[in-house]
Amino acid sequence: MNSADEEPDDAMPVEPGPLELWAVGDRVLRSRLRGVGAAEVRELERARGALPPPPLGDRQLAAIGTRVDRLVDVSAPLRTGPAQTLAVDAALAGGLRVLGAVGGVHGDVLLTVTYSRVRPKQRLRAWVELLALTATRHDRPWRAVVVGRGDDDPDVTVVTLGPVGAEDARAALADLVRLRAHGCCGPLPVPVGTGAGYAEARSRGRDPGSARVAAESAWASSYRRDGEDVDAAHALIWGEAASLTVLEDWTASPGLLGDAHRDEPTDFGRLARTIWQPLLDAERTVVR
Amino acid sequence: MSAATPPAVVDLRGPLPTGTSVLEASAGTGKTYTIAGLVTRYIAEGHARLGELLVVTFGRAATSELRTRVRERLVTARDALADPATGRGSADPVVALLADGTAAEVAERHARLTEALAGFDAATVATIHQFCQQVLQGLGIVADVDPGTELVTDLADLVAEVCDDLYLLFHCRPGSPPASFTHERARAVARAAVIEDPQAVLAPDDADRDTPADLQWRFARAVREEVERRKRRARVQGFDDLLVRVRDALDHPATGKQARERLRERYRVVLVDEFQDTDPVQWDVFRLAFHDSRDLVLIGDPKQAIYAFRGADVRAYLSAAQAATTRATLDTNWRSDTGLLAGLETVFRGAALGDPAIVVRPVRAGHAGCAVGPTADPAPVRMRVLPRAGLELKGRAQLIQVDAARRAVAADLATQVQALLEEEATIVPRGPGGAPRPLVPRDVAVLVRTKAQADLVRDVLQARGFPTVVTGTSSVFGTDAARDWVLLLEALEQPHRRRRVRRLALTPLIGSSAAELEAGGQEATDELADALRRWEDVLRRRGVAGLFAAVAQERALAARLLSLPDGERLVTDRRHVAEALHAEALESSLGIGGLLAWLRARIDEARGDLDQERSRRLDTDDAAIQVVTVHASKGLEFPVVFLPFAWDAFGGGTWERLPRSYDAVGRRVRYVGGRNGPGYAAACRAEDADSAGEELRLLYVAATRAVSRLVLWWAPSTKTQPSPLHRLLFSPDPSVAMPVNVAVPDNDGDAMSRLQAVAAGPRGGVRVEPVPAAGAGPVAAPPAPAGGVDGTLTAARLGRPVDTDWRRTSYTALTRDTHSAGAASARNRTSSGRTTRTTPPRSPAISRPRTSRPIRCPRWPRSPVAPPSARWCTPSWRRPSSRPTTRSRRCARRPDGRCSGTVGGSTRTRSPRHWCPRCARRWGRWPTGVRSATSRAATCSPNSTSSCRWPAATSWTATCGSGRWPGCWTSTCPPATAWPATPRPFATRSSPGSRCAAT
């Protein structure tokens, strides 16, 4: 939704913002995964001029380098052999087919190494790819692994999803495809972080009330940080600084959510759990 | 001067102030009235001619208002003096005084006023910056200014650039220490040192070498120096530089004397308005130039000094007051009712507002009676006390959580407003002969301290169905309107990108809903994309204004949006942004891309933007309750004022500050060393004490806006302790001391009895009443919406007459007739050899020229000039404007007033001559009768010897009375017979001018 194009900046960078730093980190990580040496990458980044001149920029580059080294080290055992890209063609109930390709497959592992912190977005993306791959070819115990930065640098979070059974994968994929079709016609009140926060709390056995608190902390902005409610698209659809109640007031059209999770008090809760519960059941997280 | 010995009272009939005098004008005591009166007297009594007067005020709007008021006053006085007998009985003390005297004296005064009015444009009524700019231009090489230096309003970009460069320089040298302060901090330091406090001494200068405090201090100094260097290099200067350069010129050891003398030669009397908002540099300028040598009248109210955040410094006022030879106060309040003034006195109890010299003194009421009727309220000041019951409490003292208290007070405010409006009160006009009218929402103001409070009040009042407008300085670029414009421009930039087009469609500018877009499918989007391509063309040809007009018309913007509840707001904001974009597009020749970049930058900086041009305009002039911030309310008055949050302290917090303080000799100091620097805590405390004083003055300003009724709230909340109202009410003797924090009583009973005791003060006028506990008390039904808000819209009707005399027109339109008329008169001359007047002279006062009337340029043969319209033909009208008609015949006016042109191949130049003060007629020399003329007729009748050669021999002669000479349309034009019977319109250089027949 957001169309603010960045204006090109011709000034020497003094204090790169989080986005610029992320772009540098991402670029460094890609280079390292391609096999470029650490020293060489450092020289390249210095020459590129995206960071302030040394020694100001060197400190930032050193911090980025440390994080990237950890990501590369942790993911090294998983990166066996060259990455493959596999075609996906999953036949679902009702004659639906999911077509496409998934990349970054090393052996049995669908590997994602990212300079971002591991957030629900990355997990959900890996999950969908895993489902599609498993639904297409259940000849191997496919796993999806997301390697990304942990909450505290330089921790590394490794999230492993699967393996899942072929039938389970098809069912979960069918649910997601149905929800997506609906989402193309009307908004679904399930912002990624908010939905994940709710579903995780519930799957840990918390009651709907405290799960709601978890969801709200992801949704509502405080003076400290922005929540998902400031996202331009969310603000447009649900209103400026809408409260979580607006999402909870949503009612699902009949049949959309099936019969699962009847114990949820709101359709928002049912929707979140429909999406997230299978993922959470198949997920293991390690912080290294 | 201490509070114990109140200064003398200003008497407009007394002797005129001489030397340096400070007049303290409390709120509502008629400051502008006094200035205008003083100016009138200075002129009429011959102390100074108008051109020798300097009247300075702060702010451009104030300048134009003051100019109007002074002129009105001069006109009134002049007219009254025409008939001294009636004038002596005038209610206006100045007029009565001036009319009192021998006939000759009065006549002389009358003549002086007449002359002053004729040359009113010569009066210097200016802002301090305008004045300094004039001075710099006038001083020439005596001042240190590069000619051609450009004045820029905003140096922020330059400072940011310098800051970044120096930050890199500080941290990126080989072997430089690790970053000791962040870039964000560096920006804040640079802003503080260069933009906010360019004149302050920077502290701490005693930090250990290479500690962060020392580095920040060095950084701040380096930024200052570098900005100064780059300003000189780029030949730009900011507003502050004007003042500093004048100050430096006046203070220069070698040339300063000369500069000071020039200023003194130019001005004999200097009046400065709003002097409490001065700062040390401004006071230096006035002190050096005029103190001890000219009559310098400084008028202000230190109790209303509330602009410290803009760099004003009440200490400069106080030191000026120390230096003054006379001090006096204005003691009569012309704004508020007697009862209200008594109530204010009870509340303020002679308080010292932040400084022992800033004391609230009792004032007399200028009007008897009560402005809000029908019956006078015995207690026009009401103090509503919020009880703790039912609200969230915190801490040992059981104080109400501040947000809960704010909400409770806002709810009670809405109830009170509703009760007031249902009371069917009336407004009784002050002047004679006005009929009482009902009190309407427009008469009610809610004064708040912050924007957040304003929003809270607006929401609560609107929820109850009261129309409410928020006046304040929130930038229009922080609104949805600006974002809508970004989307529109983005879509215009790339109408092929469906995503942009569809996003635009959802904005109020286009007004489609998602469902409509979906239903319309591809075609709906394509249709809009086509419209966008069309609009892009409009934008290119007609600019943003044309684009907005096209969008508004094609999408029925007004009809669509105005039917929404907040429609006026939506339309006003969108139009405001359109105008800002248009102005920028014109000024900087921007296309779509440039406009987008500009608009995005404005949106980014909207939060800190205080530019008046950009602050949101009032969306409606319907009867609406006004929610105004205290800063914006200065100078305004409202019959009923609600002050809901005076118990709520502003500020606080633990962020890293850049505190402002004052050193032992009273110089301003800005501390840039950061929280670990030496002396940081002391500097913060000093700043806190100063801002506590300023908060008290804000309370004073807010409370004195009321004409007839004032409602205050007090609440025992967690933020009450440092709040101004609480400190005022709960300090034992506010005229002696008010601690920065005053304990809040533990229970409601103690608080209530304390407030009752204050209210029982000798002057009375205050009633203390508890707010009904939350949930208790009946909730009144919301009022029915006022008429016209039932959803149906009708076009507004223009009810006032249109002045068809006043128009803008093109030069071509003005002179179209001239060519034909000129040809006709040329034929006339050829046939008879001279032009004779066949029409009777035009009746002077009424015969205003219509815009198309042809006349000839009196300066250049056959060069047509625009006739003055009725409004130009005032004494301030100077020269006919003229323009070339053909290539060979040019009459160009040059900036120095000289006129040069080509006639028949030879270039001629004419210097400006004297102008008759009465009728704006031009003379080669002054007729001797003019200056000392005492009768109306004599003023411009050339009645004596050689000086009545009119005009000078080498110049042209004019065809007075024929209606061709612009000066003839004033009321004092002598009869036509007094003028040469044979006017020679365009005599050549060799021909002598005609002698006036009147001799």
3-class DSSP string for B404-455: HHHHHHHHHHHHHHHHHHHCCCEECCCCCCCCCEECCHHHEEEEECCHHHHH
**Higher-confidence residue: A113 or B147?**
A113
Strands (E), B730-810: 766-770
pLDDT tens readout for residues B681-693: 899 888 888 888 9
The pLDDT score that the predictor gives to residue B987 is 32
Distance, in Å, from the CA atom of B545 to the CA atom of B72, rounded to the nearest integer, reads 37
In the numeric block, which tokens belong to residue B302?
A: 């230190």
- Mark A200-213 as b/e (b = at least 16 C-beta within 10 Å): bbbbeeeeeeebbe
Kindly list the residues from chain B whose CB atom is less than 8 angstroms away from the CB atom of residue A3: 487, 490, 499-500, 503
Predicted confidence at residue B752, as pLDDT, reads: 92
Beta B668-671 vs B706-714: how paired, if at all?
A: unpaired
The larger pLDDT score, comparing residue B999 to residue B675, is at B675
Q: Which residue has the higher pLDDT, B474 or B624?
A: B624
Contact B766, B339 (CB under 8 A): no
Q: What is the dihedral of CA B286, B291, B294, B299, to 10 degrees?
A: 60
How much is the pLDDT for B734? 87
B167 touches chain A (CB under 8 A): yes
B503 touching A, CB under 8 A?
Answer: yes
B993 is in an annotated binding site: no
- Taking CB atoms and an 8 Å cut-off, how many pairs form between chains A and B? 39
Asked if residue B951 has a cis previous peptide bond (ω within 30° of 0), the answer is: yes
Task: Dig out the tokens for B212 from the structure.
Answer: 């962060």
State percent of chain B over pLDDT 90: 27
Answer yes or no: is B29 a known binding residue.
Answer: yes
How far apart, in whole angstroms, are the C-alpha atoms of residue B152 and residue B144? 18
Q: Are B543 and B492 a contacting pair, CB within 8 Å?
A: no
* pLDDT for B876: 29
Q: Residue ranges of the alpha helices (H) in chain A?
A: 18-33, 38-48, 56-75, 120-136, 166-183, 192-203, 208-219, 232-238, 244-248, 267-281
Structure tokens at B884: 């070339």
Neighbouring C-beta atoms of residue B796, cutoff 10 Å: 6
Residue pLDDT, tens place only, B181-222: 888 899 999 999 998 888 899 988 888 888 889 989 999 999
More confident: A59 or A88: A88
- Chain-centroid distance of CA B676 in Å reads 41
Least-confidence region, from A50-54, A147-151, B898-902, B993-997: B993-997
Rg (CA), chain A: 21
Residue B914's pLDDT is: 44
Per-residue tokens: B225:
């120096």
- A141 and chain B: CB distance < 8 Å anywhere? no
Mean pLDDT of B760-768: 88
Top mean pLDDT of A18-22, B461-465, B569-573 is at A18-22
Q: 3-state SS string over B832-892?
A: HCCCCCCCCCCCCCCCCCCCCCCEECCCCCCCEECCCCCCCCCCCCCCCCECCCECCEEEE
Q: Which residue from A1, A7, A52 is facing B503, i.e. has the nearest CB? A: A1
Q: Which pair of tokens denotes residue B183?
A: 């870039």
Judged by CB atoms closer than 8 Å, whether chains meet at B168 and A54 is answered as no
Record: contact A55-B176, CB cut-off 8 A: yes
Mean pLDDT over the full length of chain A? 89
**Token code pair at residue B726:** 């609480």
Q: What is the CA radius of gyration of chain B?
A: 33
Tokens 């330089």 belong to which residue?
A154
The amino acid present at B508, given as its one-letter code, is P
* Beta-bridge partner residues of A145: A111, A160
- The whole-number pLDDT of residue B40 equals 93
Mean pLDDT, all residues of chain B: 77
* Chain A partners within 8 Å of B164 (Cβ): 11-12, 14
Write the burial class of residue B510 (CB in 10 Å: 0-12 exposed, 13-18 middle, 19+ buried): buried
Q: Give residue B570's pLDDT.
A: 85
Q: Token digits for A158?
A: 């490794």
Contact B445/B625 with Cβ under 8 angstroms?
A: yes
Residue B438 pLDDT level (bands cut at 50, 70, 90): confident
Burial pattern B555-572, b for ≥16 Cβ within 10 A else e, equals: bebbebbeeeeebbbbbb
For an interface test with A, the pick among B157, B166, B168 (most A C-beta atoms closer than 10 Å) comes out as B168
Nearest-Cα distance to chain B for A110, in Å, is 33
- Residue at A187: amino acid letter: P
Whether residues A3 and B503 touch (CB distance < 8 A) is answered with yes
Phi, psi dihedral angles at B482 (to 5 degrees): -65, -40
User: Which chain B residue's Cα is nearest to A57?
Assistant: B172
pLDDT at site B925: 40
| Partner A contacted by B197 (CB < 8 A) | no
Optimal mutation site among A1, A2, A3, A224, interface B, most CBs of chain B within 10 A: A3
B473, B481, B451: which is closest to B599 by C-alpha?
A: B481
Q: What is the token pair recorded at A281? A: 């059941």
- In this prediction, residue B819 carries a pLDDT of 67
**Cβ-based contacts of B500 with chain A (< 8 Å):** 3
